[in-house]
Chains A and B, each alone.
Chain A
Amino acid sequence: MDQAVAVAPPAAPPGTARPLLAADGLNVSFPVGPGHRLVAVEDVSFTLGEGETLGIVGESGCGKSTVAKCLAGLLRPGSGTVSLQGVALPARRSRQQHRAVQLVFQDPYSSLNPRLSVRSVLRELLLFHGLARGDAVEGRCRELMALVGLADGALDGYPSSFSGGQRQRIAIARALAVEPQVLVADEPISALDVSVQAAILDLFADLRDRLGIGTVLISHNLAAVRHVCDRAAVMYLGRIVEIGRKDEIFADPRHPYTRALLAAAPRLRPGPDRVRARLKGEPPSMTERPTGCPFHPRCPRAEAVCGAQLPELLPAPAGSSRLAACHFRDEKP
Chain B
Amino acid sequence: MTAIVGRYGAGPAPEGPGPDGAPVVAGKRPRSVLAYRARHSPTLIIGATITLGLVLVAVLAPLISPYVPDHQDLYNILSGFSSKHLLGTDELGRDELSRLIWAGRTDLRVGILAVIFPFCFGTAMGTLAGYRGGWLDTVVMRAVDVLIAFPFYVLVIGLIFVVGAGTTGIYVAFAVVDWVVYARAVRSTTLVVRESDYVAAARTGGLPDWRILWRHVLPNTITQAVVYLTNDVVLVIVAVVTLGYLGLGVQPPTPDWGAMISEGQEFLTTYWALATLPGIAVLITGLGLSLLGDGLADVLRPQ
Stretch in B131-139, B198-206, B240-248 with 4+ CB within 8 Å of A: B198-206
Chain B residues 1-46 with CB under 8 Å of chain A are 1-2, 4-5, 7-16, 18-19, 24-30, 33
Are A103 and B18 within 8 A (Cβ)? no
Q: Is the CB of B303 within 8 A of A105?
A: no
Q: A116-B215, A153-B10, A153-B11 are in contact. Are A158 and B200 (CB under 8 A)?
A: no
B219 at the interface (CB under 8 A from A): yes
Residue B216 is within 8 A (CB to CB) of chain A in the complex = yes
Are A163 and B4 in contact, CB atoms less than 8 angstroms apart? no
**Interface membership of B92, Cβ < 8 A:** no
Q: Are B11 and A114 in contact (CB under 8 A)?
A: no
Q: At the interface, yes or no: B265 with Cβ under 8 Å from chain A?
A: no
Q: List CB contacts (< 8 Å) of B55-114 with chain A.
A: none
Instruction: List the A side residues contacting B28 at CB < 8 Å.
Output: 160-161
A308 at the interface (CB under 8 A from B): no
Task: For the complex, give the distance between the alpha carbons of A128 and B210 in Å.
Answer: 13
As a 0/1 sequence over residues 158 to 182 of chain A, the CB contacts with chain B under 8 angstroms (1 = contact) are 1011111110010100110010000
Among A107-144, those with CB < 8 Å from B are: 107, 109-117, 124-125, 128-129, 143
**Alpha-carbon distance between A163 and B196 when the two chains are bound, in angstroms:** 19
Which of A128, A149, A165 is the one whose CB lies under 8 Å from B207?
A128
Task: Assess whether B220 is interfacial by the CB under 8 Å rule.
Answer: yes
Question: CB-CB contacts of A47-88 with B at 8 A, as 1s and 0s?
Answer: 000000000000000000000000011100000000000000
Contact among B5, B15, B205, B207 with A151 in the assembled complex (CB-CB below 8 Å): B5
Asked whether, in the complex, the Cβ of B204 is within 8 Å of the Cβ of A74, the reply is yes
| CB neighbours of B19 from chain A (8 A) | 109
Contacts of B303 in A (CB 8 A): 114, 160
Query: Are B10 and A160 in contact, with the CB atoms below 8 A?
Result: no
Q: Give chain A residues whose Cβ lies under 8 Å from the Cβ of B206.
A: 93-96, 98-99, 128-129, 178
- Taking CB atoms, residues of chain B closer than 8 Å to A261 are none
Interface size on B, residues (CB 8 A): 42
Q: Please, which residues of chain B bring their CB within 8 A of the CB of A111?
A: 196-198, 201
Q: Is the CB of A125 within 8 A of B8?
A: no
Point out the residues of chain B lying under 8 angstroms from A148, CB to CB: 8
Q: Counting chain B CB atoms within 10 Å of each CB, which of A149, A157, A175 scores highest? A: A149
A103 near B204: Cβ-Cβ < 8 Å: yes
Q: How far is the CB of B10 from chain A (nearest CB, A)?
A: 4
Number of interface residues of A (CB under 8 A): 57
Instruction: Judge whether A103 and B29 touch: CB under 8 Å.
Output: no
The answer for the CA separation of A193 and B15 in the assembled complex, in Å, is 10
Q: Which residues of B contact A128 (CB under 8 A)?
A: 205-207, 211
CA distance A157 to B5 in the complex (A): 17
CB-CB under 8 A from A199, the residues of chain B are 8
A117 in contact with B198 given A124-B207, A199-B8 (CB within 8 Å)? no
Chain B residues within 8 Å of A72, by CB = 204
Measured CB to CB, the nearest residue on chain A to B196 is A110
A161 to B23, CA, bound (A): 10
In the complex, the chain B residue whose C-beta lies closest to that of A192 is B15
B274-303 interface code vs A (CB 8 A; 1 in, 0 out): 000000000000000000000000000011
Contacts of A101 in B (CB 8 A): 204
**Residues of chain B with a CB closer than 8 A to A252's CB:** none
**Contact B10 A105, beta carbon cutoff 8 Å:** no
B204:A161 contact, CB within 8 angstroms: no
Do A174 and B29 have beta carbons less than 8 Å apart? no
A160–B30 contact, CB under 8 A? yes
Determine the distance from Cα of A94 to Cα of B206 in the docked complex, in whole angstroms: 7
Q: A111-B201, A157-B29 are in contact. List 14 more A-B contacts (CB 8 A).
A: A72-B204, A99-B205, A101-B204, A105-B201, A110-B197, A113-B202, A114-B30, A114-B220, A146-B4, A151-B10, A153-B10, A162-B12, A162-B24, A166-B11
Q: Give residues in B with beta carbon < 8 Å to A.
A: 1-2, 4-5, 7-16, 18-19, 24-30, 33, 196-198, 200-207, 211, 215-216, 219-220, 302-303
Q: List 13 A-B contacts (CB under 8 A).
A: A96-B206, A98-B204, A103-B204, A105-B197, A110-B196, A128-B211, A146-B2, A146-B4, A150-B10, A162-B24, A175-B201, A196-B15, A203-B8
Pairs A-B, 9 closest by C-beta atoms: A149-B8, A163-B15, A98-B206, A111-B197, A151-B10, A105-B197, A113-B198, A95-B206, A115-B219
